């Protein structure tokens, strides 16, 4: 029996290839997901619906290849494969810049700088954009789309660890120096922002900190997960105006159950963890034990801080 990976060159097969469809072996090469797994995702979980040739062999569109990469991103965040389809189907398409727009060109150049591990070039691009665009606009139109494209590129991509380490180190250094100077000019209780993800190369919390700090809010950043039991200790010692926990990863159930316990200030949970645990978090909020606010990304977190009156100096 002819295997699917060695599809004979029938007329409908050649026509599909000419139209841009990809056989399963090519999808496996592009994404790093082997054909056995791709078939299982289709049969067991309905993640993919490939086109079939007259002989029943699978062909995939570029959109489906992108869907595989998005699925890998959720799996890396700790989501069970059985829950990935709902997240993919419910997620609104990201508003990426058009390829021929100034933002699209800037995004491509930044992406190339990361791929080339070119710190000077990435600095120049970022600094030039920051000189003419507000922080919120730059985050929305460049930094978040760049982060999304990098996350998808790094799925099964050789060199992804190098690029990831470079980008995380650059972003932490770039934004960390700005937070330092902002904090020296601002007064009052800080926003305590903690990377609650176990992922060692999280970047979303730095964007949250940058957005808040640039709006006039003093910020303290802890760049690593803090045990839930020590959150109360952090509150006692730092007396923050609010506690912002960021995670793009799935959180252990015990953390969710204790999230609201003994909190003395508003608690904001931000990042993809909000999407992953939406139902559980809704139940926690209904208990009314403390203030819990949810934001799926750094821009939503910034807007929420604004609505709560926690920016522009906030409580003293």
Q: Kindly give, in sequence order, each residue whose CB lies less than 8 Å from that of residue 179, ignoring residues fewer than 6 positions away.
A: 209, 210, 213, 219, 221
Q: What is the pLDDT along the chain (316 residues), one digit of tens a residue?
A: 455 555 456 776 677 777 778 888 899 888 888 898 999 999 999 999 888 877 787 889 889 999 998 898 898 888 888 889 998 888 654 444 455 578 999 999 999 999 999 999 999 999 999 998 999 999 999 999 999 999 988 887 789 999 999 999 999 999 999 999 999 988 899 999 999 988 878 899 999 999 999 998 999 999 988 888 888 889 999 999 999 999 999 988 777 777 777 678 899 999 999 999 988 888 777 766 557 899 999 999 999 999 999 987 544 3
Q: Determine if the pTM surpasses 0.85.
A: no
For 240-293, what is each residue's pLDDT tens digit?
999 999 999 998 877 777 777 767 889 999 999 999 998 888 877 776 655 789
Please give the domain boundaries of the chain with CATH numbers for all domains: 4-75 (1.10.1660.10), 92-185 (1.10.1240), 188-316 (3.40.50.280)
242: β partners: 191
- Calpha distance 32→13 (Å, rounded): 23
Burial level of 90, CB count in 10 A (0-12/13-18/19+)? exposed
Taking alpha carbons only, the member of 302, 131, 134, 132 closest to residue 212 is: 302
Burial level of 236, CB count in 10 A (0-12/13-18/19+)? exposed
- Calpha distance 134→53 (Å, rounded): 51
Give the torsion through C-alpha atoms of 202, 205, 211, 212, to 10 deg: -160
Beta carbons of 92 and 85 less than 8 angstroms apart: no
Beta carbons of 149 and 107 less than 8 angstroms apart: yes
Q: What is the largest CA-CA distance in the chain?
A: 75
Per-residue b or e along 109-127, where b marks 16 or more CB atoms closer than 10 Å to that residue's CB: ebbebbbeeebeebeebbe
- Calpha distance 274→251 (Å, rounded): 10
């Amino acid at each position: 029996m002819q295997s699917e990976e060695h599809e004979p060159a029938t007329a409908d097969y050649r026509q599909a290839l000419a139209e841009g469809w990809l056989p399963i072996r090519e999808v496996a090469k592009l994404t790093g997901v082997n054909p056995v797994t791709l078939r299982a995702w289709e049969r067991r979980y309905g993640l993919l619906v490939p086109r079939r040739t007259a002989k029943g062999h699978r062909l995939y569109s570029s959109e489906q290849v992108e869907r595989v990469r998005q699925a890998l991103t959720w799996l890396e965040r700790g989501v069970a494969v059985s829950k990935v389809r709902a997240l993919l189907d419910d997620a609104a398409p990201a508003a990426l810049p058009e390829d021929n727009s100034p933002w699209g060109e800037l995004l491509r150049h930044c992406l190339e700088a990361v791929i080339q591990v070119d710190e000077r070039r990435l600095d120049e691009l970022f600094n030039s954009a920051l000189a003419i665009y507000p922080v919120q606009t730059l985050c929305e139109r460049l930094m978040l789309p760049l982060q999304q494209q990098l996350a998808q590129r790094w799925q099964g991509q050789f060199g992804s660890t190098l690029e990831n380490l470079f980008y995380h180190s650059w972003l932490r250094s770039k934004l960390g120096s700005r937070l330092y100077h902002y904090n020296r000019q601002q007064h009052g209780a800080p926003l305590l922002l903690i990377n609650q993800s176990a992922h060692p190369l999280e970047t979303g919390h730095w964007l949250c900190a940058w957005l808040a700090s640039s709006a006039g809010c003093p910020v303290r950043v802890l760049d690593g997960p803090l045990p839930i039991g020590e959150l109360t200790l952090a509150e006692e010692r730092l007396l923050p105006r609010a506690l912002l926990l960021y995670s793009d990863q799935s959180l252990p159930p015990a953390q969710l159950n204790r999230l609201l316990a003994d909190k003395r200030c508003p608690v904001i949970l931000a990042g993809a963890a909000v999407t992953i645990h939406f139902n559980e978090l809704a139940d926690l909020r209904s208990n009314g034990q403390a203030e819990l606010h949810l934001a799926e990304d750094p821009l939503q977190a910034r807007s929420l801080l604004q609505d709560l009156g926690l920016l522009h100096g906030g409580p003293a």
